[in-house]
């Protein structure tokens, strides 16, 4: 399986790319291999790297609007990617937005009313900074998106059974602006199991998205490391990609 499709709306194409297509991250020192893998992906998607755009993720809550004129940034070399950015959104069609992740949670959004798409990277640190809330709230309040019709996809990432954390993480989780206690439980004096998918879904629900419009992937990157790169399990530099574009009508 090369691509796992988000089957939700004919106006968009959205996938998680599995490791069968090879590493896509410039964290890998073999830049020629990464570029070759990316070009292969573009061919499978019937596009090219100039119609794709990638951020340089740092586990922030920073996001940026992009357009087709930004196509190619971050695709040929790491230096041209948008720095210190963990989410992108666009009103333009035929532009793939990329989110890189290895155990972190990718979140895609689509607003049928305004035809806006977004790709968000939300590891546990980005989750505690509430990047999904901040992007979604911005789209609702400043881009006229209707939360009742917005669609969301929470992609493959580490599951709660595999995401063991300690007090330093839970202390940040407790500081989020809603009751987060249902999303972690303590296993001994030092350790907790954290539900990052659940936290991100709850942020979307809190902003008015409907339960039926949120798709949560059943895959865990640790348990399904035959399909996905998992840093927590294998400590390698490989990254999965979750991508979205709006189709030109």
152-190 residue pLDDT tens: 999 999 999 999 999 999 999 999 999 999 999 999 999
Owner of token pair 């573009």? 42
Helix axes 131-142 and 196-206, enclosed angle (nearest 10): 20
The per-residue pLDDT for 234 is 83
| pLDDT for the residue numbered 166 | 97
Give the C-alpha separation, 181 to 169, whole Å. Answer: 13
Q: What are the backbone dihedrals phi and psi of residue 204, each rounded to the nearest 5 degrees, phi first? A: -65, -45
- Tell me, yes or no, if the pTM score tops 0.75: yes
CATH node for 3-158+214-246: 3.60.140.10
Q: Please choose, from the candidates 127, 116, 139, the residue with its C-alpha nearest in 3D space to the C-alpha of residue 170.
A: 127
Using the predicted structure, report yes or no on whether residue 37 has a pLDDT greater than 90. yes
In angstroms, rounded to a whole number, what is the distance separating the alpha carbons of residues 33 and 14?
24
Q: Where are the domains of the chain?
A: 3-158+214-246
Establish how many alpha carbons lie within 13 A of residue 65's alpha carbon, considering only the half-sphere containing its beta carbon.
Answer: 9
Residues contacting residue 133 through CB under 8 Å, at least 6 positions apart? 177, 203, 206, 207
């Amino acid at each position: 399986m090369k691509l796992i499709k988000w089957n939700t709306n004919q106006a968009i194409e959205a996938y998680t790319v599995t490791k069968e297509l090879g590493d896509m991250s410039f964290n890998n020192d073999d830049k020629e291999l990464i570029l070759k893998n990316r070009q292969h992906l573009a061919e499978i998607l019937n596009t090219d790297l100039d119609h794709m755009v990638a951020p340089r993720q740092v586990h922030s809550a920073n996001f940026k609007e992009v357009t087709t004129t930004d196509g190619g940034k971050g695709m040929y070399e790491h230096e041209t990617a948008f720095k210190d950015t963990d989410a992108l959104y666009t009103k333009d069609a035929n532009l793939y937005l990329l989110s890189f992740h290895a155990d972190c949670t990718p979140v895609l959004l689509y607003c049928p009313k305004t035809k806006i798409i977004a790709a968000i990277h939300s590891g546990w640190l980005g989750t505690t900074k509430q990047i999904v809330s901040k992007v979604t709230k911005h789209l609702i309040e400043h881009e006229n998106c209707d939360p009742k019709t917005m669609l969301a996809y929470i992609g493959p990432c580490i599951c709660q059974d595999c995401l063991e954390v300690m007090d330093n993480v839970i202390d940040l989780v407790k500081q989020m602006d809603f009751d987060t206690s249902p999303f972690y439980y303590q296993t001994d004096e030092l350790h907790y199991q954290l539900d990052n998918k659940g936290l991100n879904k709850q942020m979307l629900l809190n902003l008015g998205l409907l339960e039926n419009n949120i798709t949560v992937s059943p895959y865990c990157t640790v348990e399904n490391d035959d399909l996905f790169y998992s840093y927590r399990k294998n400590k390698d530099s490989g990254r999965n990609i979750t991508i979205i574009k709006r189709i030109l009508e």
